[in-house]
Structure 1
Amino acid sequence: MVEVIPKQIKDVWDTWNIRGMIILSLSLQTILIFFAPLRKRTPNKFLIMLLWSSYLLADLSANFAVALIAKNQGKDPKPDDPPEDKKLVALWAPFLLLHLGGPDTITAFSIEDSALWNRHFLGLVFQALAGVYVVVLSLPNVLWLVIELLFVAGTLKYLERTIALYLASSDKYRNLMLQESNSGFDYTEQADNLDMESILASEMYMKEEHRGAPKPLNLMHPDKELTDFQILQFAFLFFNNFTSLMVNNIFSLELRDKSKAFFSALQLQEEALCIIEAELDFIYEGLYTKGAVLHSSLGVALRITSLVSLLSAFTIYHYRHNKMQEFRKADIVITYTLFLVGIALEVISFLMLMLSDWTTATLSKLKDDSHEMPSLKDRLLEWVLGLKRKWKGQIGREEEVFNTPFLLRRWAGNITVFNFLTYSMNADTERIHNSRGGTCQLLWKIALYPFSYVFSIMQTWSGSIAIWSCDLRRYIIHHVIIPPPGENQVARSKYIFKTFVEFWFNVPYFFAIPVTSVINYLGIRDLFHEIRLERSVHHEPLTKNLWSFIFSELKIRSQILDNLESTTTKASARRDWASSHTQIQIAGQEKLLRYITDVDYDQSLLIWHIATELCYQEDDSAKENCDQHQYQMNREISKIISDYMMYLLILQPKLMSDVAGIGNMRFRDTLAEAKRFFKKMDIGNTRDVKLASKKILLVDTSIEPSDVKGNHCKSVLFEASSVAKELLKLDKGCEKDKWAVLSKVWLEFLFHAASHCDGTARLELVSKGGEFINFVWLLMAHFGLGD
């Protein structure tokens, strides 16, 4: 009796474990299908963590549930069990194979998952064998036809995922470009008999040989504004022809010239942003979803067969009689839940597929003549896209920012920024632009007001207690412990009292020492540093002025590059990280030019970032005879790009690995020197960035800071102060104001980083809300710029 009770408890536990894992697996599939599309729209850490944990647990829970089902099939039935109950449990095994196929919205969480497509294929084989083993143990089974149909659906679903991972792997992209060479006729044989007849024969032969090759890129030059449907079609065309960019390969000069001519002829600069936005969305769909499979003839056949099998299995099961007598009611409910939720998810996936941009772009071919009347199908597709456009937020007329509702975005739509001085002073970040509407902003402030009020009270109290404690300690030391001159006290009593006071004032440090020791022992000090850095970033919306400024500058540089006479000159123009075009902008300013041409990229970036912030904190405006609007626009552009490049350098080290150097070390040394300086000036607790900027600018930098500190410290704080002082001197005339110079310098930083950033990290960021540097990189590629 003692041995039977634990065995019964264990059997019940295993049975409920199976049901729990089945429900968990179904829940994870639901989470992935609804939340996975959101990760291309936002870099929210909580969303990424939810998807990461769900993505990993989805495979683990399904595999574990199959193992439990196999274990349960080998047990002897209990007297109170229905006679056919294990037959129904065996039906759940192919359902788990269906879950392992994953939703259409996510096949890979990262680029590395696609590289392991062969492991997923091996997993398909083993999971199919495990399912077959479960079914064999349950034979003879009255539900064998239902199980067989579900096996077909599950296997095809898993096969879709494996093919999608294979198509998204970098090896596949390289293999697509390495086509078998074919030079047609032998030159040595044909050169002697060169005549018109042989030339025509050669052309006919080449046409026959390349009949199956992709159609060459044929782009019309837009002579009017593009419609939403045309933008989508052009984006899809560029996506198919510039696939080599995804694996850091080059493309042909013919493609480059056609792309350059097309983007140069665009009527609106915003159209280029929309095309690149859609193109990056196609890249995301191809790398991280089943888009490449489902939009092929093979994928359509697999999906139709899978869906028909699932519906047929449900129909047969639903119309089976005597279910209530053969199986447990709880198991019947779970099976119906698996069927109905599974069918509902398939229907939702089908609707998402039909409404996707990929489907819309492939339903109609791009017309060669822009003046050709659109067909009925084109007008219908344009109307569907128009429905989406009606829900799009218009560009703010006052702030001129691109503002699209969250569910209609193809990327995050903002620029993440980080400021060194704000971080070093623990100050609150101030936004330049706010993409939220007035009503939304008011509601948000009302919702957060209780929390901010309580936090402000706690902050005020803690600051007052700290000041009171410091004053009390100073009073006790100077008026109690240290006796006035001529006053005689007992030395021993004074020593005991002093030790007692010092002990209580150092109690917080006693608690801090073990915590610091544990952090250092676990090696997570850098993690806490990164968390603090993350709390100091904020987002600025992409402004229309910023995009137009970047687009115009790249267009000019593309034209300048075309006008260069020799390829040697072109190569030399790209040799240094700062182009000759930017160096000309600040010619005659030797001190400024030296911090571009004679220092490393990361060192120069940090110097110019701090110098830009020092200038930005100064209360200045354009002269009366200068263009005030242009002056303020250059000021805002310089500030945004400066803070954005600082964010990339410090918080995106993988992306900037090719150009960062030892930027993180320089950042920490500069931060340490800044904190020492603020403490010395007694402004460390003021959290006033403007005051800190004035104090830094007051420091005498007539002697080169590098000559004073040598190579012992990599801080660039006072080199930045020297650059800022030189920039402030430029406002004497209107021909060359400091913000015009700074805007050009920061564009150079941005362009160099965009053309040299790591390709794998760049594609990783597409699945994390996107990154603005991807837009700059792709626009440079279409203009034929970059390395």
Structure 2
Amino acid sequence: MVKKLWTAWEIRVLVLISLSLQIILNFFGSRRKYIARSWIKILVWSSYLAADWVATVALGNLATNSEGNCGDNPPTSSHELQAFWAPFLLFHLGGPEAITAYSLEDNELWLRHLLQFVVQLGVTIYVYIQSWSNVNALTFLSIPVIIVGFIKYGERTWVFWSSSTERLRDTLLAIVDPSPGIVKFSMQAGFDEIKNKKQEMGKHELLDAHFLFKRFSRLFTGLMLSKQEAQKTIPYFSKKPAKEAFNLVAIELGFMYDFLFTKLIIVYHRLGLFLHYFNFLSIVTTLVVFSIHLHIRSYPYFLTDICITYCLILGAFVMEIFGFVHYSFNDWAKLIGLSFSMKAKSYKCGARIPFPSFLSKNQKRWSMSMRQYNLINFCIKDISTIYKCINRVAKLIGILNWLEKFQYLTWEDVNLELQEIIYRGIINAHEEHKLCANPGLGDSNKNLLARRGNHVIEKNDLTREGNYYTSQCDFDKSILAWHIATDLCYYNDFTKHEKADLDSINCKISRCLSNYMLYLLVFCPSMMSSGNGELRYRNACVEVKDKLKDLQNLESRNGWSFDKKWEMICEVWVEMLGYAAIHCGWREHGQQLAKGGELLTHVCLIMTHLGLKAQYDYDYIALTIDEG
């Protein structure tokens, strides 16, 4: 009984599941750019993997059904209508515009996706040919839907190829720059004049961001930067305040996300726009003709199949509308509009393409948060009864260590205070970088980029007092040592000072950066310069558990004031953050764009804009910045 029921409903259930997965990907696929929570990762990941599998299985079942209705067995009205579903499954395999690749590895597997495209297109055509045994209006109505499915799936396959590392280099080099006038102004006019001209246009941050993106996007493909590019962009970026600097790199990384993980490459192309208009009109036509067909058909279909067919057509219609709305308010669309406005203004024709101000205000381009993980909190954990039960189950299936770590993840906002302290540290390094940019100073520039807290120790004349675990040991060990020291100082001061002191900016940010760096070490070891972070962390957990009472009794030996001590600790963490940022590979930075973004990536791009990055084809940068 159950088997007969499943046989009758299998195709219907699979088709509805496929449609549901596509709706989920359309709605949440782009939101993972600025939501870093685990629930959206699990939702998008499971939907992304299941979507292709479900559509493929459904297509295979439709092909099997069509074989069973060949020869002496004429197709029933149910099979006739179900054969019309095959092109919509091909449409589903094309995926939404908001997400093509879940990770960068998907782009590198473009050949596999090409083979799948050819196979699934063949299966769809096979189902269509089998339906010719009883030619009717649906047979002809399937043709435009097959073409739409072919376009959607073909676009996805082409984007996989275009976003692969080797091809992406050529793609990024061929980007049309919509802000050539701004570049010209930056070379010929003062900064105040540039600012005034851009403010007349409105949304000038988009123009700034694209100017920088055009020149630095190649880093994500492993290409080097020229001296000329650095000389153009460093003066352009160095005078910006912290908030504007972080906003600019957020827009830039949003541009990069679109290239790596969405169909943006083709959406704003003339051919792409034409194809999308064609898809939309084809779907609307299909909806109208199918409705007319139902009224003139001599025998009725099952009501369930009619409803499913309407769901498929309306689902395709909604997905096309959703994609259009999404990309109409995208930063790229606004940039193109500003480009047209700038050209119109240059010709004094008065035309301007306006964008509602509420669409740009408070627009989230990344999560604006950083994860927090604390070693001592984990070591003295007090797990509730519910978690103990969960942990017993997790231990049985071998994920106990993974689950325990995630129980102690927290979040902190990347607020303006944090941005300003980080940016101040980067600017100070940039000022020293200008002094080091002299061939007569040997490898001074390389030494500057190798700092990871040792410069702060030397500046405060603490090198004679002992080993402070900066450049004398592996970077992961240095992070763990300073993480423990930061917590010990905090808890020691907790008994000596008032809460107002512990809420000071330097104290709060030191702890935030300390917990953030430990999170990167444990959960994102590929982003750190050494790859044995998790192993070192496990060993440290054992040591802290054994010696926690001794560590709690340690007293500060510096004799400094509270503020001076925490200022020094904060400076060390900013320096270590910068070291980790510039020594992380661009591929690892690119992966994080699809996970809500990382503060480390934004810091790396800011440092790169200021010349604090080793990925140049020259050893030193000679700069002359016009202060006027």
TM-score, normalised to structure 1, is 0.69
Residues 629 and 255 from structure 1, CA distance in 2 versus in 1: closer, same or farther, beyond 3 angstroms? farther
Name 1:540's counterpart in structure 2: 412
2:357 counterpart of 1:385: yes
Picking from 483, 502, 521, the partner of 1:609 is 483
Contact 2:179 2:207 in 1 (8 A): no
Contact 1:609 1:646 in 2 (8 A): yes
Name 2:447's counterpart in structure 1: 573
Name 1:726's counterpart in structure 2: 557
2:545 counterpart of 1:675: yes
Listed one character per residue, the Cα deviations across residues 568-597 of structure 1 (whole Å, up to 9, x for unaligned) are 234442464437743532324423565223
Residues 144 and 82 from structure 1, CA distance in 2 versus in 1: closer, same or farther, beyond 3 angstroms? closer
Contact 1:586 1:592 in 2 (8 A): no
Name 2:246's counterpart in structure 1: 273
Name 1:745's counterpart in structure 2: 572
User: Map of 1:277-426 to 2, 5 A cutoff?
Assistant: 277-320=250-293, 321-323=295-297, 325-365=299-339, 378=352, 380-381=354-355, 384-389=356-361, 392=362, 408-426=363-381
User: Map of 1:614-763 to 2, 5 A cutoff?
Assistant: 614-619=488-493, 632-656=504-528, 658-660=529-531, 662-678=532-548, 695-698=550-553, 725-727=556-558, 729-731=559-561, 737-763=564-590
Picking from 128, 142, 148, the partner of 1:135 is 128
Listed one character per residue, the Cα deviations across residues 15-58 of structure 1 (whole Å, up to 9, x for unaligned) are 42111111111111111111212211222222211211111111
* Counterparts of 2:114 and 2:504, CA distance in 1: 57
2:456 counterpart of 1:582: yes
Name 2:147's counterpart in structure 1: 152
Listed one character per residue, the Cα deviations across residues 589-637 of structure 1 (whole Å, up to 9, x for unaligned) are 42356522322211111111111111112337999xxxx9999222222
* Counterparts of 2:524 and 2:98, CA distance in 1: 26
* Counterparts of 2:263 and 2:450, CA distance in 1: 41
* Counterparts of 1:664 and 1:751, CA distance in 2: 21
Q: Which amino acid in the other structure matches residue 485 of structure 2?
A: A
* Counterparts of 1:584 and 1:378, CA distance in 2: 56
Name 1:52's counterpart in structure 2: 45
The offset of 1:95, in angstroms, is 0.8
Residues 178 and 48 from structure 1, CA distance in 2 versus in 1: closer, same or farther, beyond 3 angstroms? closer
Residues 596 and 76 from structure 1, CA distance in 2 versus in 1: closer, same or farther, beyond 3 angstroms? closer
* Counterparts of 1:621 and 1:85, CA distance in 2: 77
The offset of 1:388, in angstroms, is 4.5
Where 1:153 maps in the other structure, the secondary structure is helix
The offset of 1:161, in angstroms, is 0.9
The offset of 1:676, in angstroms, is 2.4
Contact 2:520 2:527 in 1 (8 A): yes
Contact 1:583 1:593 in 2 (8 A): no
Contact 1:231 1:275 in 2 (8 A): yes
Contact 2:449 2:613 in 1 (8 A): no
User: Map of 1:184-333 to 2, 5 A cutoff?
Assistant: 217-218=183-184, 220=186, 222-223=191-192, 229-266=203-240, 268-320=241-293, 321-323=295-297, 325-333=299-307
2:159 counterpart of 1:164: yes
* Counterparts of 1:133 and 1:85, CA distance in 2: 18
Q: Matched residues, percent identical?
A: 27
The offset of 1:97, in angstroms, is 0.5
Name 1:558's counterpart in structure 2: 430
Listed one character per residue, the Cα deviations across residues 475-503 of structure 1 (whole Å, up to 9, x for unaligned) are xxxxxxxxxxxxxxxxxxxxxxxxxxxxx
Name 1:40's counterpart in structure 2: 33
* Counterparts of 1:275 and 1:586, CA distance in 2: 34
Name 1:193's counterpart in structure 2: none
Larger radius of gyration: 1
Where 1:643 maps in the other structure, the secondary structure is helix
The offset of 1:292, in angstroms, is 1.8
* Counterparts of 2:375 and 2:303, CA distance in 1: 63
Residues 426 and 222 from structure 1, CA distance in 2 versus in 1: closer, same or farther, beyond 3 angstroms? farther
The offset of 1:562, in angstroms, is 1.5
* Counterparts of 2:310 and 2:171, CA distance in 1: 44
Residues 337 and 594 from structure 1, CA distance in 2 versus in 1: closer, same or farther, beyond 3 angstroms? closer
Q: Which amino acid in the other structure matches residue 404 of structure 2?
A: R
Residues 117 and 776 from structure 1, CA distance in 2 versus in 1: closer, same or farther, beyond 3 angstroms? same
Residues 583 and 376 from structure 1, CA distance in 2 versus in 1: closer, same or farther, beyond 3 angstroms? farther
Listed one character per residue, the Cα deviations across residues 54-111 of structure 1 (whole Å, up to 9, x for unaligned) are 1111111111111111111122499999854433222111111111000111111111
CA RMSD of aligned residues (A): 3.7
2:604 counterpart of 1:774: no
Q: Which amino acid in the other structure matches residue 295 of structure 1?
A: Y
Contact 1:166 1:172 in 2 (8 A): yes
Contact 2:101 2:107 in 1 (8 A): yes
The offset of 1:649, in angstroms, is 0.9
The offset of 1:655, in angstroms, is 1.8
Contact 1:145 1:313 in 2 (8 A): no
Listed one character per residue, the Cα deviations across residues 430-481 of structure 1 (whole Å, up to 9, x for unaligned) are xxxxxxxxxxxxxxxxxxxxxxxxx7xx79xx9xxxxxxxxxxxxxxxxxxx
The offset of 1:122, in angstroms, is 1.8
* Counterparts of 2:318 and 2:335, CA distance in 1: 26
Contact 2:454 2:471 in 1 (8 A): no
Where 1:786 maps in the other structure, the secondary structure is coil
Q: Which amino acid in the other structure matches residue 254 of structure 1?
A: Q
Contact 1:236 1:358 in 2 (8 A): no
* Counterparts of 1:631 and 1:83, CA distance in 2: 74
The offset of 1:333, in angstroms, is 2.0
Where 1:416 maps in the other structure, the secondary structure is strand
The offset of 1:158, in angstroms, is 0.6
Residues 271 and 71 from structure 1, CA distance in 2 versus in 1: closer, same or farther, beyond 3 angstroms? same
* Counterparts of 1:106 and 1:363, CA distance in 2: 24
Contact 1:219 1:258 in 2 (8 A): no
Contact 1:420 1:610 in 2 (8 A): yes
Asked which structure has the greater RCO (Cα within 8 Å, sep 6+), the reply is 2
Q: Which amino acid in the other structure matches residue 275 of structure 1?
A: L
* Counterparts of 1:629 and 1:362, CA distance in 2: 49
Residues 65 and 91 from structure 1, CA distance in 2 versus in 1: closer, same or farther, beyond 3 angstroms? same
* Counterparts of 1:585 and 1:35, CA distance in 2: 48
Residue-pair matches, total: 595
Q: Which amino acid in the other structure matches residue 38 of structure 2?
A: K
Residues 218 and 634 from structure 1, CA distance in 2 versus in 1: closer, same or farther, beyond 3 angstroms? farther
TM-score, normalised to structure 2, is 0.85
The offset of 1:754, in angstroms, is 0.3
* Counterparts of 2:324 and 2:24, CA distance in 1: 17
Listed one character per residue, the Cα deviations across residues 141-176 of structure 1 (whole Å, up to 9, x for unaligned) are 212221111111100011111122222211112345
The offset of 1:378, in angstroms, is 5.0
